[in-house]
Amino acid sequence: MSDRVLLATFEHEDDLLAATDAVRRGGFEIVDAFTPYAVHGLERAMGLRPSRLTWVCFLCGMTGALGMLWFEHWTASIDWQLDVGGKPWNSLPSDVPVAFEAAVLLAGFGSVFALFAVSRLFPGKQPQIIDPRITDDRFVLVIDEANAAFDAAAVRSMLQEFHVLAVEERVTTPGGELQ
Amino acid sequence: MTTEDSHTSPNRLFDATSVTRHNRFLQRLAIAGAIILACGVAFAAERVWSNLLVGTFYLLTIALGGALFVALTYVSGGGWHVAFRRIPEAMAKVLPVAGIAMLIVLGVRMSRYGWHHDWHGDAGTFWFKELWLTPSFWALRAVIYVSLWSLLAGWLVARSRRQDKTSDAAITGGNVRIAALFLAVYAVTFSLASADWMMALEPMWFSTMWGVYNFAGMIQAALAVMIILGLILRSHDGPLRGVFNDEHLHDLGKLLLGFSCFWMYIWFSQYMLIWYSNIPEETSYFITRTHGPWGPVVVGSIVLNWVVPFFVLLPKPAKRNAGIMMKVAVVVLIGRWVDLYVMVFPSTLGETPVFGVWEVASISCLLGAAGLMLFRSFAQAPPVPRHDPLLSESLHYHAG
């Protein structure tokens, strides 16, 4: 990604969706899209890969379930054998509820913290809002200018078809944050 | 709107010759199964009756599951399902026939349900159970359950169909109130019915999770039937082509995945409580079913009802794939039969699983009769509720 990006602001989600699709098909690199709410179909228009978070969730859940089953087995029937109601030491049914809870807990926490990590979210982070109105009623598409095919005039005229409200160039900081 | 214009002919489903051929096949299945079962009455009456109990309860709970889905979505204000709501409505319209079949099957062997068979012993501490299972009271309740379900569900569906003609949006608001009434009635009566008809096969045994366990299996199977019907009705030149889309399939897939887990959760909750407390009068049910030859059958029902749908339907693309969804739905419907088989057969036929010509005949009869009734019921009304105020929302819905 270069340090120069183009910000295109739209008033309607349909325009944003159509423009995103057209820009991607035109061979330009889309940095991100900012919307006040989740716009259905935007991930498809942007050509995003399927989320890998589901795998994090699944693996964390399996780790929780299998890890807890092993731990319960080890504590109750290997390290210190417990007689509960005359049941065998190695009683699988009694281990299942805790294993289930551990699976849910690890899957939940794993997904949330993996999301925080990949989107670099942490307590005390200063929000970088490119335009206050993206939290209200504006839709902003951010296009990378690095591409050799990038032609500002052509992009502007292409965006006009989708009723773009404003087109603005910005420079990003070395950390990749928009200013 | 094009979907409205091209999908309003009520009998289009039966115009295609291929559908007529399928219909004939279903008819043959049903008739062949019924003839074999009729012969079976002479040779193996108890086994034929057990099969009929499983089959009619299967059919009845699918019909009831359709009514429940319609009622739930009205009450929760859902709009996503409206485009294919005629499918659960068609299932609900089978309720009167399925209910009468259930009453006949129960009626011919009412004596099977006595808490003790001679009716002269001292009820002792079980005085309430004796009162509750008094044949006349027990039979009266069965008639009341079936009548209430048929009336309320029929009312709901009839009003929805009337909306096609009158285009009166107020019908939707009225149906929300009827649906709420249905849900309240359903919650109590289905719990009691499952105890009356299935749990009382072993009158000395009881489980307070029986009602919710039966509910879980019911809604899971009903969702599987809706998926199969939706996929059939949208294929080739079916009446729901372009209406029942991948978004609807995706959401039904999520619900099937969720309720498969719910079934497993409830199954295990019932099992673990009984296993943990280890009281003889409660464990009798599971000792027959988990120790000895029924064990593998129980494991099979868990694999079919939970393991397969859970691991196959977890990834998002699987829930949007018609081929995968069809196969999983069929697996779940087989699992539902095995689940009911494990509920009924050990109680009526003892400690060894039996599977032979009578079971095959009853499954063939069930498949044929259910298929015929559901398609016929679907063809009674226009395939899309064209004047439902939420139809447009449903057609443009994104499951994400």
As a whole-number percent, the residues of chain B with pLDDT over 70 amount to 92
Which residue range forms the structural domain that includes residue B33?
2-120+127-388
* Contact with chain A for residue B311, Cβ under 8 A: no
Domain count, chain B: 1
The per-residue pLDDT for A147 is 64
Q: Which of A63, A48, A56 is nearest to A118 (CA)?
A: A56
Q: Please check whether residue B395 lies inside any domain of the structure.
A: no
B7 has a pLDDT exceeding 60 = no
Question: To probe the interface with A, which of B246, B270, B272, B302 has the most A CB atoms within 10 Å?
Answer: B272
Name the minimum distance, in Å, from the CA of B262 to any CA of chain A: 13
Q: Pinpoint the alpha helices (H) of B244-321.
A: 246-277, 280-290, 295-302, 308-313, 316-319
Task: For B317-362, write each residue's pLDDT tens digit.
Answer: 999 999 999 999 999 999 999 999 999 999 999 889 999 999 999 9
Is residue B228 in a domain? yes
Q: Average pLDDT, whole number, for chain A? A: 87
Q: Which of chain B's residues have a Cβ under 8 Å away from the Cβ of A86?
A: 278
The DSSP H or E segment spanning B29 is: helix B17-43
3-class SS letters over B327-373? HHHHHHHHHHHHHHHHHHHHHHHCCCCCCCHHHHHHHHHHHHHHHHH
What is the model's pLDDT at position A2?
A: 58
Band of the pLDDT at B16, cuts 50, 70, 90?
low
Q: What would the DSSP string read from start to end of chain A?
A: --SEEEEEEESSHHHHHHHHHHHHHTTPPEEEEE-SSPPTTHHHHTTPPPPSHHHHHHHHHHHHHHHHHHHHHIIIIIIS---STT--SS-HHHHHHHHHHHHHHHHHHHHHHHHHHHTT--TTPPP--S-GGGGTT-EEEEEES-STT--HHHHHHHHHTTT--EEEEEEB-TTS-B-
Q: In the CATH scheme, what architecture does the domain A4-50+127-171 have?
A: 2-Layer Sandwich (3.30)
- Residue in the block written with tokens 């944050």: A177
Residue A41: list chain B partners with CB under 8 A: 398
* CB contact (8 A) between residue B314 and residue A58: yes
List A residues 91-120 in contact with B (Cβ-Cβ < 8 A): 93-94, 96-97
pLDDT for A19 beyond 70: yes
Is residue B202 situated within a structural domain? yes
Q: What is the mean pLDDT of chain B?
A: 90
Can you say how many angstroms the Cα of residue B258 is from the centroid of all Cα atoms in its chain? 17
What is the C-alpha to C-alpha distance for residues A167 and B6, in angstroms, rounded to an integer? 44
Domain ranges of chain A: 4-50+127-171, 53-118
Establish if B102 belongs to a structural domain: yes
**What pLDDT, on a 0 to 100 scale, did the predictor assign at position B62?**
97
Q: Do B398 and A41 touch (CB under 8 A)?
A: yes
Q: What is the pLDDT of residues B198-249, one digit of tens each?
A: 999 988 888 999 999 999 999 999 999 999 999 999 987 789 988 999 999 9
Measured between CA atoms, the residue of chain B closest to residue A38 is B400
Q: What is the pLDDT of residues A45-69, one digit of tens each?
A: 898 888 889 999 999 999 999 999 9
pLDDT of the residue at A148: 60
3-state helix/strand/coil string of A11-25: CCHHHHHHHHHHHHH
- Can you read off the two tokens belonging to residue B337? 């039969």
Q: Identify whether B298 is part of a domain.
A: yes
Provide, as residue numbers in chain B, all residues whose Cβ is less than 8 Å from the Cβ of A83: none
pLDDT tens readout for residues B128-147 = 888 888 888 999 999 999 99
Type of residue numbered B281:
E
A58 touches chain B (CB under 8 A): yes
State the ipTM, two decimals: 0.82
